[in-house]
Amino acid sequence: MELKSDAKLKLIDKFCELHKEATKRGLRRDVIHAVFQGKIVRVTKEPGYRLDPWLTKVTWGLAIVIVVLATVLGILAHQFDFKEEVTMLVKGSRCIVDNNGFLMEIARPKTNCHICENLVTVPVENNISTEDFLQKYAYTAVPVLVKEATRKWSAMDTFSFRFFRDLYTSVNGSLHAVEEDCQFFPYKTEFETLEEVFNMTEERADFKDGEKLWYVGWSNCHPGVSSVLREHYQKPYFLPNDTESSALDWIFMGGTGLGAFIHLDYVQRPSWQAQISGVKTWSLIPTPECEHVCQSMNVTVQKGDIFVVDTNQWYHATYIHPGEISITIGSEYD
């Protein structure tokens, strides 16, 4: 018996929502993690600390809810074999903002909640014109899924784990550039650099039975690599003619399971992300100031689709479906 992917996503989404709110109200993350592990915990307040009686009831009521949900999630994770995903999600604290993220959260501009008011599902477009895209989505922060938008890209038949491995190992300085000047996201792996990713065994790269799963992401800022990548993909056809993509390429690649944990980005512009292979589901959660008018949404991106989203204004996480390796490439645009 197997718990379906959408059920896993709903459980994880709900857990993260409660996890974020409980932490904001004072429930420590180590308590949540301990409960998930099946431990009995004793929570005490600091000496001399006084809390408004009404807020105490709300906080501990929420604590009870999240502890119950954590327990249920733990049981299901053990029973249906996705314990590793949830343990990393809880222990990695990716449901909430860390200390640096907390400061950025305070400093970020508040979201205009009109972007998601009355929006219950992510809009889906086919063959959208540049004019319609500009009017409806380009700078509105309304997410959109554009179907079959990469038909003319040679990347669809070219990009693979071995393509990227051969490219980065053949272009002098490219691996060093990722480590020193760009960003690398190990997600649910032990890798510390992109070079380590490309040094994994062929069996693990191919997700052979018994091999550890992996999923990573990185930004490329090496011009030699960029020039090769952009021979195989172009600016999405629906972007306005005067729009320019960032010099950075964002690449995400790996196998089934939880991809990126729930987070908010702090980049300058909205972005598009093209699904080169595999199937990925995005979970979008509105920012706290918009929770009273906006809803959380899931959208599944198939091979050949492009998802456009302002990751500065939507909390988001990804889930990789079983099957073909997931490869996504994207860029910010102005």
Residues 87 and 227 in one domain: no
| Strand duo 249-254 + 184-185: pairing | unpaired
Q: Is residue 106 part of a domain?
A: no
Q: Is residue 105 part of a domain?
A: no
Question: What average pLDDT does range 75-104 have in this prediction?
Answer: 46
The CA–CA distances, whole Å, from 314 to 23, 117, 133 equal 19, 13, 19
Residues 83 and 121 in one domain: no
Per-residue pLDDT, 220: 93
In the predicted structure, residue 55 carries a pLDDT above the cut 90? no
Residues 158 and 71 in one domain: no
Angle at 253 between CA 270 and CA 92, to 5 degrees: 80
**Number of domains the chain contains:** 2
Residues 85 and 159 in one domain: no
Residues 159 and 207 in one domain: yes
Q: Is residue 81 part of a domain?
A: yes
Within the chain, where are the H helices?
Answer: 5-24, 29-36, 53-80, 83-91, 99-107, 130-136, 155-158, 161-170, 174-180, 194-198, 202-205, 223-229
In contact, 110 and 286? CB cutoff 8 Å: no
Q: What is the CATH number of the domain that holds 322?
A: 2.60.120.650
Q: Is residue 91 part of a domain?
A: yes
Q: How confident is the model at residue 49 (pLDDT cuts 50, 70, 90)?
A: very low
Share of the chain above pLDDT 90, in %: 51
The CA–CA distances, whole Å, from 138 to 153, 170, 333 equal 22, 37, 9
Q: Is residue 15 part of a domain?
A: yes
Q: Is residue 101 part of a domain?
A: no
Per-residue pLDDT, 334: 82
Per-residue pLDDT, 38: 44
With 0-12 / 13-18 / 19 or more C-beta atoms within 10 angstroms meaning exposed / middle / buried, residue 123 is middle
Per-residue pLDDT, 89: 46
Residues 90 and 238 in one domain: no
Structural domain range at position 34: 5-96
pTM for this one? 0.71
In this structure, of 9-13, 68-72, 116-120, 171-175, the range with the lowest mean pLDDT score is: 68-72
Structure confidence by residue, pLDDT tens digits, 234-270: 999 999 888 776 778 999 999 999 998 888 887 778 8
Last residue of a domain, one of 47, 66, 96: 96
In the predicted structure, residue 185 carries a pLDDT above the cut 50? yes
Structure confidence by residue, pLDDT tens digits, 132-158: 999 999 999 999 999 999 988 999 999
Q: How confident is the model at residue 51 (pLDDT cuts 50, 70, 90)?
A: very low
Query: Rounded to an integer, what distance in angstroms lies between the CA atom of residue 25 and that of residue 115?
Result: 27
Q: Mean pLDDT: which of 6-20, 77-91, 190-204 is highest?
A: 190-204
Residues 75 and 133 in one domain: no
Residues 150 and 289 in one domain: yes
In this structure, of 30-44, 189-203, 274-288, the range with the lowest mean pLDDT score is: 30-44
Residues 61 and 138 in one domain: no
Residues 220 and 168 in one domain: yes
Q: Is residue 208 part of a domain?
A: yes
Per-residue pLDDT, 146: 98
Residues 83 and 190 in one domain: no
Query: Rounded to an integer, what distance in angstroms lies between the CA atom of residue 57 and that of residue 79?
Result: 33
Question: What average pLDDT does range 284-292 have in this prediction?
Answer: 89
Last residue of a domain, one of 41, 70, 96: 96
Residues 66 and 203 in one domain: no
Report which DSSP code applies to 298: E
Q: Is residue 56 part of a domain?
A: yes
Last residue of a domain, one of 70, 96, 122: 96
Between 23 and 298, residue with greater pLDDT: 298
> CB-based contacts of 187: which residues, under 8 Å, 6+ apart?
215, 216, 217, 254, 258, 259, 260, 261
Please provide the average confidence, as pLDDT, over all residues in the chain: 79
